[in-house]
Chain A
Amino acid sequence: MPRKKPNRRKEDNGAQLHAPMIAVLVLLAVIFVSFLYLGGRCENLGSRIKAMEIDIESIHVRVLTEEMKWERMKSPKVIRVYLNKHDLDMSWPGNERIYRIPMNKRRAFDPPEAQPDGTPVYNLARQDRRETRYD
């Protein structure tokens, strides 16, 4: 009697992983790696933010200090001291040195027109033209 041929289809091919399980494992692995990555990234960003906070603070300190030094230098009393030190006599112009231009005459002083070479020209004639046109 011939020997019965074994049914290979029915043969056990060893332990097989189910697809959903593999998916879960892969997902877990991805989550774990992502967690590690994000954790590391957060740590890195945190330390950068912290460093920037320290930088801002020190810059702020410097700005405040320099501003106060500048304010001190601008003080009229200090300016007077330096003017005296360098023998500079600066005083307000007297009335005889001030020419006051009344409002209705100011129109004559329109913004200067620049010539091609850059020289400003105070064109008083424009005032006359404008008045003529309005008339």
Chain B
Amino acid sequence: MTDRKLIWRLSLVVGVTCLAWCGLGVRLAALHLGSNERLKERVRRIRHYEKQILVGRGLIYDAENMCLAGTLKTKDIIVDPKRILDQGRMQAVASALTRVLDLKPGHAMKKINRPTRRFEYLERYVHADEFERLARMNLPGVIMRDSTARYYPHESMLCHVIGFSNLEGNGCAGVELKMDRYLRGQPGQRISQRDGRGREIYSQRLLGVEPRKGCNVYLTINMNVQYLVEKALLAAVNEHNAKGAWAVVQEVKTGRILAMASLPQYDPNIYRKSHEDEMLNRVIGYTYEPGSTMKAAVFAAAFNEGVISEHTVFNCEYGTWYYRGRPLRDYHPYGNLSAADVLKKSSNIGTAKIALLLGPARLERYLRDFGMGRRCGIDLPGEEAGILWPHRKWDSLMITRIPIGHSIAVTSLQMVCMYSAIANDGYLMKPLLVDRVVNDQGERVYQGESEVVARPIGLETSRMMRRLLGRVTEDGGTARRARVDGYDVAGKTGTSEKIIDGRYARHANIASFAGFLPAGNPEIAILVVVDEPHKFHTGGRVAAPVFQEIAAQLVQCLTIPPEGRDSVVFSEGEQLTRSDAETPIFEVQ
């Protein structure tokens, strides 16, 4: 090869190399100095890192600091079918996912076997135990994304009070809905850049807003009491083959709700599988004709007005009395009965005659003062007001029907508040369910206070009513089955027929018992309602035993002495009052 030829070839190689370098240099200069917005935007998009930090909602506690609702950090499991199929690992990945997540056979395979898809939700809200196992397996094409899920550790217990929140974390029922503005936290945010492996580069963090936890809500409910109530109701429903049952326990002096149960129930963890009927809180959302439990209000009004005394005698017409051409009947026929015995025997005729003496205007005023026809104002959504027509709209029969609990519709909460008022020297208390709301700094942002709503009757009337209602559970009364050993129980039974298709249904009854104890110095009021019991249908036969079962355990659970907490008899003839004993008593068992 000649030198000339060699020089030529060398020049060509050098020229081409220089040209290539020049090209690269020009491109580099163009990339750096030119506008290249599209490219810059693409790089920005790839490197951009934005993450929402979820904290979930605040917690809900009972009066004993037992957690009723909490938020779990979960993960959504997502699969990338194309990637899995490209790697030919469909079988292995599907079987691993099925095993760890306990999926239905074939479900994972069906989701993965979609070659064109890059994103498929396999399972949402997977708990820590499972997603940690899955993370350790390091399966290709399986992505885990942060999420939070509400968890109710007591499942169906207290479900109607707690309610539930949906998948987006919004309260949808019960306390979850009513206290949503407190429970709802504020998610944090991080804006930063990611590295080649998708991890955040801390030094490039532009924004880091810390999340704010939702406030914790403390209820007045005592879960031990709630359990006793639910257990007794469930036994009653099974025994009487009833359609449902509900009960509420209230502290007489403060209006605090200690338990509120309604059957049928649902599990808020799987609320989407529940029937609408199971979600109804019958204590506040179901109105019914209360029957004879309403009589207590009529007697209290008549005594308070001085229209009658306990010794006033009424002719109970031996079971049937015609008023304005329509018959009014007693369950058992009676002749002359004193007012005290009219209440004890639950005579409809005697009560109707007392209401006539009272007059419609005064009767309506007292019923409204006892809270009928308006919402009690409890911290729960969906409370019904009941129905009580103004007396000007009453027909001529209603003055004899309303006193016996017909032509009026009430909620169970209204009834228990009414009995609490009778027991509480006439003071009607607002039912208190939310005790306090505490933020993540430990500061109280809301404090529930006991509140007197009205005082329909005076002290003397209250005392008389406690005594007369106490006779109802004695021999000869309608509620002998409500007696609790060692305690004086006061209360009233009620039986009413349900209205179905606009007519009273003879075989569809509501049996109820409302009462309080100890009768002399009441501490707690309890209302029990059993819906459509079979075989037996009266309040005394069906609801009173449930009351007895609840009350007997309740006094032990809450350590209520037979004479009440204010007045403790510790030996014969000696008595202490609360002024002597400022601090609570303690027991040696």
Contacts and interface: CB of A to CB of B under 8 A. Distances in A.
A68 B587 contact: no
Contacts of B200: 50
A100 interface: yes
B587 A98 contact: yes
A46 B585 contact: no
B586 A77 contact: no
Given A61-B73, A67-B70, A75-B154, A98 B128 contact: no
Contacts of A77: 154-155, 157, 227
B394 interface: no
Nearest to B73: A61
A72 interface: yes
Interface stretch (A8-16, A20-28, A102-110, A111-119): A102-110
B553 interface: yes
A102 B157 contact: no
B183 to A, nearest CB: 16
A62 B153 contact: no
Contacts of B553: 92
Interface in B453-467: none
Interface residues of B, number: 44
Nearest to A74: B66
Contacts of B199: 50
Given A46-B201, A92-B553, A93-B589, A102 B568 contact: yes
Contacts of B441: none
Contact of B153 (A43, A57, A68, A104): A68
A94 interface: yes
Interface of A is mostly: helix
B583 interface: yes
A61 B128 CA distance: 7
A97 to B, nearest CB: 6
A52 B580 CA distance: 57
Contacts of A76: 157, 223-224, 226-227
A106 B556 CA distance: 21
B581 A104 contact: yes
Contacts of B486: 95
Interface stretch (B11-19, B320-328, B557-565): B557-565
Interface string B275-293: 0000000000000000000
Contacts of B485: 94-95
Contacts of A43: 203
A95 B562 contact: yes
Given A47-B202, A65-B72, A92-B557, A101 B586 contact: yes
B167 interface: no
Contacts of B153: 68-69, 71-72, 75
Contacts of B580: 102-104
A126 interface: no
A77 B229 CA distance: 12
B541 interface: no
Contacts of A71: 66-67, 70, 153-154
A100 B574 CA distance: 13
A71 B65 CA distance: 10
B202 A46 contact: yes
Nearest to B581: A103
Contacts of A103: 576, 580-583, 585
A20 B157 CA distance: 82
Interface in B64-108: 66-67, 70-73
Interface residues of A, number: 36
Central interface residue in B66, B67, B155, B201, by most chain A CB within 10 Å = B67
Interface in B36-72: 66-67, 70-72
A99 interface: yes
Given A47-B202, A76-B223, A100-B568, A60 B73 contact: yes
B70 A64 contact: yes
Contact of B589 (A62, A67, A75, A98): A98
Interface string A70-94: 0110111100100000000000111
Contacts of A101: 570, 585-588
A100 B67 contact: no
A124 interface: no
A30 interface: no
A33 interface: no
A42 B561 CA distance: 67
B365 interface: no
Nearest to B556: A92
Nearest to A79: B227
A80 B199 CA distance: 48
A96 to B, nearest CB: 8
A68 B223 contact: no
B443 interface: no
B10 to A, nearest CB: 40
B161 to A, nearest CB: 15
A8 B568 CA distance: 119
Nearest to A43: B203
A78 to B, nearest CB: 9
A31 interface: no
A102 B570 contact: yes
A100 B587 contact: yes
Contact of B67 (A47, A57, A68, A104): A68
Contact of B585 (A49, A94, A102): A102
B567 to A, nearest CB: 11
B146 to A, nearest CB: 9
B585 A100 contact: yes
Contacts of A67: 67, 70
Nearest to A50: B202
Contacts of B157: 75-77
A82 to B, nearest CB: 14
B223 A64 contact: no
B129 interface: yes
Given A94-B485, A95-B486, A103-B583, 14 more contacts: A50-B200, A64-B70, A67-B70, A71-B70, A71-B153, A71-B154, A76-B157, A77-B227, A99-B588, A100-B585, A101-B586, A102-B570, A102-B585, A106-B586
14 contacts: A50-B200, A50-B202, A69-B153, A71-B154, A76-B157, A92-B553, A93-B589, A98-B588, A99-B587, A100-B585, A101-B585, A101-B587, A102-B581, A103-B576
A-B pairs with lowest CB-CB distance, top 3: A46-B202, A92-B556, A103-B581
